[in-house]
Structure 1
Amino acid sequence: MVRHVPGAHVITPQKAGSHLFSIGGVAIASPVVQAALSGYSDRAMRVLARRHGAAYSLGEVLLDQFVAAVGTNRRNLARLAVADEEHPVGGQLMGSNPDDFPPAAQRLVAEGYDVIDINFGCPVKKVLGRCRGGYLLSQPATALEIVAKVREAVPPHVPVTLKMRRGLDDTPESLDNFWTIFDGAFARGAAAITVHGRTVKQKYVGPSNWEFLAAVKRHAGEKIVIGSGDLFSAEACVAMLDQTGVDGVSVARGAIGNPWIFRQTLALLAGEPPLPPPTIHEQRDVLREHWALSMELHGEQVAGRSMRKFAIKYARVHPEPLAVRDAFIGVKVNADWQAVLDRFYATDGPGRDPADDVDEVSDCDGGS
């Protein structure tokens, strides 16, 4: 497969950003959205993404059984929390038993989620072993029963969407199953489908097949298709829109520690020159903002643990990425966080482009 990620001078913004789209009756203000990311896309990350230009975001993938029985535990409730400023926001569910999905979907609607998304794409081994996520791409009847039951369970104004990969593997049977689920989901009332250009077997190895995404969009016609896979820069986001014709792009791993990717993409879509990486002081301001949002949501102790995994990604944009990463690894409380900012972010200067630092982060780890 040949794919070219062009520089801004050969991107055609008129083609790539010529129309907005809606998921059911939910208007999406631009074609750049934040994906569900297990262990990452909590309310703090989503709010930050929205403030930096993401038109829509999804909460981290949650097990249907967990959502239905979440109780009153603060940490569990934090997993479901929605802020007023982040609408529209989607909640993503994963499971294996079709009967477990309806009560979980209803709970997410009650918590304020505008869209219910179903995960049929997670490639993690323990998820597949429990017949969840990407495993269901091999079980079209079960997958479509889940879609139908969720659609029936939630109010008509709440859209139901799917996240898929292009199949379990590269066999003809997997391709047939993909199309059966894809077409069947729309027939059962799905409002949009996000397609990742790798198979489940590939996990995150090898390139995402954008030619397949283009074929899916041609097949779908006016139905809403969102593309996913290998979106680690603004140029890649616009290139996917331009080359595949998908209605939107879903940024997953490329948004961890890099909320600037959304505004950078919007600038290219508007025909503006590429924005530079954020300066050190711009990074500092966002790090403070993200910490405050996480503290508000989780409390200091949990925020300290949660923010370490974000911080080592933020470090990639700093001119001294390894030293900053090592310093953030030791953060436990607010004072530790501020000490790292005082040490490495006091003097302003240009930032670093993190686009080449791609690592193995899964957008799902089994949920909880």
Structure 2
Amino acid sequence: MVAMAKRVKTFQITFADSGKSFYCGGERLCGRIEVEVSEVTRVSAMKVLALGCAKVEYAKGKQRCRQEAEYLRHEELLQLTEHPTLHKRGCCQSLTPDSDGSVVLRPGNKYEYKFGIDLPQQGQLVSSYKGKFGYVHYYVKALMERPQQPTLECKKCFEVEEPLDVNTPDLLSPAGGTKEKKVTIMFIPDGQVSLNAKIDRRGFCEGEDICINAKFENTCSRIVVPKAAIIAKHIYQANGRTKVFRQKLSAVRGNHIISGMCDAWQGKTIRVPKIKPSILGCNIIRVEYALMIYVHIPGSEKLILELPLVIGTAGLGSRSSSVSSQEGSFSNASQSWVSLRMSSQPPSYCDITKDCRLDQPLTPLLDDVDCDDSPIFMTSSAFQFPSPPAYSEVGVSDRSPRLLC
């Protein structure tokens, strides 16, 4: 079998637009299958398949949960394409199929099978995804069938990113809420902590700033700290069971609030890092985001308020200008509490390290991660007085003024 495979020197798939990083629904995926042989080889058929599926697999106790969903399937029988090098060498006769439809490939020539695949319309595909317990991937597979020989195959993956417009009225509407928590010491009431927070909209794109308006009140005897974070929730469904995996992406914090005092955030900002858009259209995998505003209470559970977010794709009309205008206002240091380092390429969902797995919908909050990039108490450099002007002493013998000539 190894000797038979050595007869084929080159067998690979090349996309026509090699510089394209991803495809959207409704687009046409074009490419070619390149073949070069080291011995005379008869090919009975060349098939191309385009497949896209989502798969979830994880262990729940002793049970193995697994489920799949298909979003793309295309199969086509290809004909050998005339190539200029064949005409130059007088090998056009090799392009003529035999009575059974097979074609003889000869060494020293490069052969091509061109294909074009129309992807389903927008809304019928799901964006590519790779997570801890599942994935959504797309690929093109070529099958070379040969008489009385094993079928050879090669595969090449491609990315899909479905547009997600955040300019809808629902995502442009504000979101907010109120939470309070009674604090006790050895079952003795010790006051309460409350928060009231609001954001002006729910839909954002990467690089935009989320402006938070919030009010915190502390009537307990402890010193509390208000914080905010953007979290991602990866939801996997298989065999009627649900598994949730949470990740903290970025965080900011406010000033300490002592007993009997209040604090307010007026337009406090947290920037959306380089992350992939929300995945909302898959039956077994969902990726949701939320802005979590919470208060750290020493010796007690945190007071948590989660506001849902939808992260859309960039470059959607007015959102581009919105991003540029907000980046200009980000230079205001009084509203910028954290500076997120942005990488040149968006990370994979599984590349983010600050995470915590939650198997139930309402489990305790993941471990706190304080933002150390900007300290709570800012110190300014000492003021430097200007040096005194140069002078010279003039001797005076009495108190009467002296005229200098």
Q: Same fold, TM exceeding 0.5?
A: no
**Structure having greater relative contact order (Cα 8 Å, sep ≥ 6):** 1
Structure (1 or 2) with the larger CA radius of gyration: 2
Instruction: Pick the TM interval, shorter chain.
Output: under 0.3
TM-score by length of 2: 0.22
Q: Which has the higher helix share?
A: 1
